[in-house]
Amino acid sequence: MIYRTVPVSTEFDLNAVCGGDGVLFVQSGIGSAGRNEILRTDSDAIRAVLNEMILSRHAQPTESTLASPIAFGLVPFLPENPSVFLLMGATFTKHSDGSATMTVVSDSEDDLTDESLQTLLASSNDSRPPRPSSNSYRVSPVMPVGRYLDTVTAARDAVRAGLLRKAVIARDIEVHADDPIDTHAVLLRLRALFGSSYRYCINNMIGASPELLVEVAGRTVRSHPLAGTAPRSGDAETDAALAEALIASTKDQLEHRVVIDMVHDTLLPHCSYLDWEAEPSIVTVANVQHLGTAIEGALHDPPAHVFTLVQALCPTPALGGFPSSEAIDFITEHEEMDRNFYGGAVGWMNRDGDGCFAVTIRCAELSNDRRSARLFAGGGIVADSNPYSELAETQAKFQAMLRAITQEN
């Protein structure tokens, strides 16, 4: 395959580029959106394709230093299941330095001329708002509430018995719509509600994750694990009190420590140094607040590929538990729910090994006809967990996607 990357104006809207049938991965206005899927494959195959791409003969000398093609991907919760990566014909990127590029991939040089790229650029930023909708929705649990409470109790008892240090138990609900769900409208609502989160729409998974799994840029590596959750009330004074209680909670601090230790110990062998915040801080999103710890370091030279780190980290104890293999075995046996990509990772990578992946949470799995969406939420279970408190936590976490899907334009 052949590619060409050109600088473009930053005036385009990544949500508009994605529209209702493209892909998106963006945080605080920085990220990428693509249209015209040309390849769907697994992680090994996509890395080979990226490595074999050649620069177009139409490229100007200055274009050779611009961004190389990226692949958008999803990593499943269960490590033995295959990842899915998409290569798009046109990818628009807004970079952290304030610049913007368009990367076009094709089998034909005819698609990479200046004239062809100008035509594509003109047609790819349809910023028309979604049409007004009067869709009707019905919400129902997939996992019975009683079974969820029983599973949480079993996980808590396993921790108390010393079989686990933590297990993350999740449940799912389903939204049914009379008409197809407008993904463009959902993305715009997520931007309004969760602009600082990692918003994504890839292969039927759509959501807004507040949690950075891992990012690699050259030799710099970053992660920002979250674990420990409290609700938000909408009142600043009440929210501040809830945040103080979260920081003081032995149960939540223990849950958070398990995650931080695993992420640190996994990244450290790949790093020449690795630093992290001495104490967790509060990470606030629209409906809940979390304990979070920023981790940053320098990778050895040559640096590890971002996907190597994703595979080593995924799933983290924030979505699986600890010890990892024992927790996953417990979840598989007791949860009786196909998580698919929920609890895995979502993001992008290029052939240089750079990339950014968030944890796949606060999400919905859309049906192919877009008339239903399966939503997921879970919480970390430790010795002091209360099943009914965990149920309330999942209900709070569901609200993000429920509001984004069912709110009228």
- Residues marked active site are found at 166, 211
Q: How many residues are there in the chain?
A: 409
Q: Which two tokens stand for residue 343?
A: 């609890």
Helices and strands, number each (H, E), in the chain = 10, 23
Selection from 385, 383, 398, 370 nearest residue 182 by Cα = 370
Q: For residue 323, give the H/E element and its range.
A: none
Selection from 191, 176, 179, 174 nearest residue 132 by Cα = 179
Instruction: Supply φ then ψ for residue 23, to 5 degrees.
Output: -125, 155
Pairwise CA distance, residues 91 & 95, whole Å: 12
Q: How many CB atoms lie within 10 A of CB 4?
A: 25
Q: How many CB atoms lie within 10 A of CB 21?
A: 11
Q: What is the DSSP letter of 84?
A: E
Contact (CB, 8 A) for 255 and 159: no
Which residues are within 8 A (CB) of 221 and not within 5 positions of it... i.e. 6 or more apart?
Answer: 214, 215, 267, 270, 271, 274, 296, 297, 298, 299, 303, 304, 309
Pairwise CA distance, residues 69 & 2, whole Å: 10
Contact (CB, 8 A) for 108 and 387: no
Selection from 309, 310, 330, 311 nearest residue 320 by Cα = 330
Amino acid letter for position 211? E
